[in-house]
C-alpha cells in the first residue's frame, strides 16, 4: 500500500506470520525504462531473493498504461531479481488516472488485455504475472469483461478489489461479485476489500466462496490478522496480539524509519500517527495514544510517549 506498507512494514508484518506472499507499493511506469535504483528503492528485497527477512516472497507491482514500456520494465524488474510481477489496474488516484494508469483502464478491457499480455510475454514462464482490478470505474458493467481479459492474457491469477473506482475505499466491498467472477474464471481469484477482522474474513469467505484473500488496510489495523486467519483456516486458534506487542512494533518501525537518510523527522512522525489512526479501529489504547501525540511535532517527544505507552501497557 503506497505510503503505508513499505519494505520495513513488510518485514514487520510478515515476521508475525500468516502471509503466503506480499506485494510492493506500485512502481509508476510513465514512458521510459526506469533505472535499477527506482526498483531497489520500492523493493529492496530484490537484492535478497525477492523475499522479506522472514522468507515471505515479495511480488513487485507495476502501474502504467502503455503495453510496450510496461513490458520493458517488467523485464528489467525480473533481471534485477523480481520473482513475480503484479499489474495495478485499481489505483483510484486522480493523478494516476490522468496519466492513463490504474483504475481508469477498467473502462477499456482491451487495454487491460494488451498490457497484461505484453508483460506476460516479456518475462519467463516461471515468473508469475498477475493483475489487480476493481469491479469497474463508475459501474460494474465491465467487471466480468475485465476479469476475462486478464485471464485471456494468460495471467497466473487475478486479485479483485470488490469496489469500483467511484466507490473509493468507503462504500462496503461487494463480496457477492467475487463469487460471480470466480465462477466464470479458470485462473485463481484472490478476494480483496474490507477484510479488516477475522469476522469479516469469515463473512467474505461465506459470501464469495473464494479460497484466497488479500489484506489491505486490515494488515495495519490488526497486525496479526493474517496469522489469525491462517489459524482459522487450519481449524485452530491463536491468542490475539496484545497492545504491548503492537506498540513494540510501532517503536521498531519508527526506529527503522528515522535512520533512513530520505526520511525527514516530519515524515517519520506522519507514519507513526498514520499507523495509530489505523490501529485505533482495533485497539482502544491506540486511540488514547493518538490523542496524546497528534499535536506533538518533535519526534523525540513522540518517542518518549511511545516508550511510556510500551512500559505502562506491559500487561494489557
Ligand atoms: C493508502 C492506500 C494505499 C494503497 N496503495 C496500493 C498500492 O500501491 N497497490 C495496490 O495494489 N493497492 C493499493 N491500495 C489498495 C489496497 O491494497 C486494497 O486493495 C484496498 O485498500 C481494499 O482493501 P481493504 O478494504 O482491505 O483496505 C492502497 C490502499 C490505500 C488505502
pLDDT digits (tens, 9 = 90+) for 179-203: 999 999 999 999 999 999 999 999 9
Residue 92 in any domain: the answer is yes
Residues 161 and 301 in one domain: no
287 Cβ neighbours under 8 A, 6+ residues apart: 280
- How confident is the model at residue 96, as a pLDDT? 85
Residues 132 and 171 in one domain: yes
Question: How much is the average pLDDT of 55-80?
Answer: 98
Q: 3-state secondary structure string, the chain?
A: CCCCCCHHHHHHHHHHCCCCCEEEEEEECCCCCCCHHHHHHHCHHHHHCCECCCCCEEEEEEECCCHHHHHHHHHHHHHCCCCEEEEEECCCCHHHHHCCCHHHHHHCHHHHHHHHHHHHHHCCCCCEEEEEEEEECCCCCCHHHHHHHHHHCCCCEEEEEEEECCCCCCCCCCHHHHHHHHHHCCCCEEEECCCCCHHHHHHHHHHHCCCEEECCCHHHHCCCHHHHHHHHHCCCCCCCCCHHHHHHHHHHHHHHHHCCCCCCHHHHHHHHHHHHHHHCCCCHHHHHHHHHHCCCCCHHHHHHHHHHHHHHCCCC
Residues 181 and 48 in one domain: yes
- How confident is the model at residue 259, as a pLDDT? 86
Residue 299 in any domain: the answer is yes
Other C-beta atoms within 10 Å of 286: how many? 22
Instruction: Evaluate if residue 314 carries a pLDDT over 60.
Output: no
- How confident is the model at residue 316, as a pLDDT? 47
Q: What is the distance in A from the centroid of ligand 1 to the CA of 85?
A: 17
Residues 228 and 253 in one domain: no
Question: How much is the average pLDDT of 98-116?
Answer: 94
How would you class 6 by CB atoms within 10 Å of its CB: exposed for 0-12, middle for 13-18, buried for 19 or more? buried
The overall average pLDDT reported for the chain is: 95
Instruction: Evaluate if residue 313 carries a pLDDT over 70.
Output: no
Residues 274 and 136 in one domain: no
166 versus 96: the higher-pLDDT residue is: 166
- How confident is the model at residue 315, as a pLDDT? 43
Residues 75 and 125 in one domain: yes
Q: Which residues are catalytic?
A: 91
Nearest residue to 246 (alpha-carbon basis) of 272, 279, 288, 273: 279
**177 vs 143: CA distance, rounded Å:** 9
What domain range includes position 284?
A: 243-312
Residues 218 and 165 in one domain: yes
Write down which residue in 233, 252, 286 finishes a domain: 233
Instruction: Evaluate if residue 8 carries a pLDDT over 90.
Output: yes
Residues 189 and 63 in one domain: yes
Residue 75 CA, distance from chain mean position: 22
Residues 276 and 213 in one domain: no
Residue closest via CA to ligand 1's atom 11 equals 88
**89 vs 101: CA distance, rounded Å:** 7
Question: How much is the average pLDDT of 151-161?
Answer: 98
Question: How much is the average pLDDT of 118-122?
Answer: 98
Q: What is the distance in A from the centroid of ligand 1 to the CA of 1?
A: 5
Question: How much is the average pLDDT of 212-239?
Answer: 97
Residues 30 and 64 in one domain: yes
Question: How much is the average pLDDT of 211-229?
Answer: 98
Q: What is the distance in A from the centroid of ligand 1 to the CA of 300?
A: 30
Instruction: Evaluate if residue 119 carries a pLDDT over 70.
Output: yes
Residue 238 in any domain: the answer is no
Instruction: Evaluate if residue 77 carries a pLDDT over 50.
Output: yes
Residue closest via CA to ligand 1's atom 18 equals 216
- Ligand 1 contact via 194 beta carbon (within 6 Å): yes
Residue bearing cell 527506482: 38
Residues 221 and 260 in one domain: no
Amino acid at each position: 500500500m503506497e505510503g503505508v506498507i513499505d519494505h520495513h512494514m513488510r518485514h514487520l508484518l510478515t515476521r508475525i506470520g500468516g502471509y503466503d506472499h506480499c506485494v510492493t507499493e506500485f512502481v509508476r511506469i510513465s514512458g521510459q525504462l526506469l533505472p535499477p535504483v527506482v526498483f531497489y528503492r520500492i523493493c529492496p528485497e530484490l537484492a535478497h531473493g525477492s523475499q522479506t527477512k522472514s522468507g515471505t516472497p515479495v511480488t513487485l507491482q507495476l502501474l502504467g498504461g502503455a503495453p510496450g514500456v510496461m513490458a520493458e520494465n517488467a523485464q528489467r524488474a525480473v533481471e534485477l531479481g523480481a520473482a513475480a510481477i503484479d499489474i495495478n489496474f485499481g489505483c483510484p488516484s486522480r493523478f494516476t488516472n490522468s496519466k492513463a494508469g490504474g483504475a481508469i483502464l477498467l473502462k477499456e478491457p482491451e487495454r487491460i488485455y494488451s498490457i497484461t499480455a505484453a508483460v506476460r510475454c516479456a518475462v519467463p514462464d516461471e515468473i508469475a504475472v498477475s493483475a489487480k482490478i476493481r469491479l469497474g470505474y463508475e459501474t460494474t458493467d465491465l467487471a466480468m469483461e475485465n476479469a476475462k481479459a486478464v485471464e485471456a492474457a494468460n495471467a497466473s491469477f487475478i486479485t479483485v478489489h470488490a469496489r469500483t473506482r467511484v466507490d473509493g475505499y468507503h462504500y462496503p466491498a461487494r463480496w457477492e461479485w467475487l463469487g460471480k467472477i470466480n465462477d466464470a474464471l479458470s485462473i485463481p481469484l484472490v478476494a480483496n476489500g474490507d477484510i479488516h477482522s477475522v469476522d469479516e474474513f469469515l463473512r467474505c469467505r461465506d459470501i464469495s466462496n473464494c479460497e484466497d484473500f488479500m489484506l489491505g488496510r486490515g494488515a495495519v489495523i490488526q497486525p496479526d490478522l493474517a496469522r489469525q486467519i491462517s489459524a482459522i483456516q487450519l481449524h485452530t486458534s491463536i491468542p490475539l496480539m496484545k497492545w504491548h506487542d503492537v506498540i513494540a512494533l510501532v517503536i521498531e518501525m519508527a526506529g527503522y524509519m528515522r535512520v533512513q537518510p530520505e526520511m525527514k523527522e516530519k515524515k517519520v512522525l506522519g507514519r507513526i500517527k498514520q499507523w495509530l489512526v489505523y490501529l485505533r479501529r482495533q485497539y482502544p489504547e491506540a486511540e488514547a495514544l493518538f490523542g496524546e501525540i497528534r499535536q506533538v511535532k518533535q519526534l523525540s517527544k513522540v518517542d518518549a510517549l511511545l516508550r511510556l505507552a510500551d512500559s505502562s501497557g506491559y500487561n494489557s
